[in-house]
Amino acid sequence: MSGQTLTDRIAAAQYSLTGSEVCRAVCKATTHEQTAPKKKHLEYLIQATQETNVNVPQMADTLIERAGNASWVVVFKALITTHHLMVHGNERFLQFLASRNTLFNLSNFLDRTGSHGLDMSTFIRRYSRYLNEKAFAYRQMSFDFGRVKKGAEGVMRTMSVEKLLKGMPTLQSQIDALLEFDVHPKDLNNGVINACFLLLFKDLIKLYACYNDGIINLLGKESPLNFTFMSRYLRHCLDG
């Protein structure tokens, strides 16, 4: 299926009638077209998160509503748009997502219709779990591992041992959820999953940089708590 469907146009028109240009942009970013969300719509939404008069909860709720669609294309693009805003939007968007008790409930999502539906449903379930984990990590730490400063003066390098013992397992869980996406080259066969893969790849680089900083910090501190954490970490690696 290519191009916007009649359903896409009707959904966008409904939001136009209610005067919600942000929700209309969400609909345009999450059409049935098997391509990545268009850059112009993503940039509009990113800018909207910076505006104090924009209803961020309404934007997030509209994305979550679109993720409840029956089409794998619409759902996948809603997740990608959400991920894009978590990374590039104002932090209050991520703060709102983290404040919710539940975010994406897609563990049983399955689309048997259309091309790629069955295969892409698997990745949607995995992707939604990662975004849930990303939001949970923010709730736990009050910051986003992807946004914090890295290196010698970075957050993980200068964090106290007590906070590291809380932060490192949280970071590990987020990394684990990302790696469970487990995509292979043959699966990257459409613009939608390709856009998702690019976001995940960039996240993984940042998460590993944080983890590296955390390990360096732990090894550089003289505390019996370090041995407790390192033994847990080694056990995790062996079990994995």
Domain boundaries, the chain: 6-239
In the 8-state DSSP scheme, what is residue 114? Answer: S
pTM above 0.85, yes or no: yes
- Please tell me the class of the 6-239 domain: mainly alpha
Are 84 and 199 a contacting pair, CB within 8 Å? yes
Phi/psi at 104 (nearest 5 deg)?
-110, 125
CA–CA separation, 180 vs 126, rounded Å? 7
CA–CA separation, 88 vs 12, rounded Å?
24
Answer yes or no: are the C-beta atoms of 86 and 133 closer than 8 Å: no
Low-confidence ranges of the chain (pLDDT < 70): 1-19, 221-240
Structure tokens that stand for 199 in this block: 């976001």
In this predicted model, what pLDDT tens digit does every residue of 92-133 receive, in sequence order? 999 999 999 889 999 999 998 877 899 999 999 999 999 999
